[in-house]
Amino acid sequence: MSELVSTRTRNTAGKLGLPHLAEALTQYAQRADEAKMGYLDFIDLVLSEELAVRDDRRFRTGLRISK
Residue boundaries of the structural domains of the chain: 3-66
pLDDT at 22: 85
> What is the spatial distance between Cα 7 and Cα 24, in angstroms, rounded to a whole number?
12
pLDDT surpasses 80 at 30: yes
pLDDT at 34: 94
pLDDT at 23: 87
pLDDT surpasses 80 at 67: no
Helix spans in 1-67 (H): 3-15, 19-34, 39-66
Q: Are 25 and 10 in contact (CB under 8 A)?
A: yes
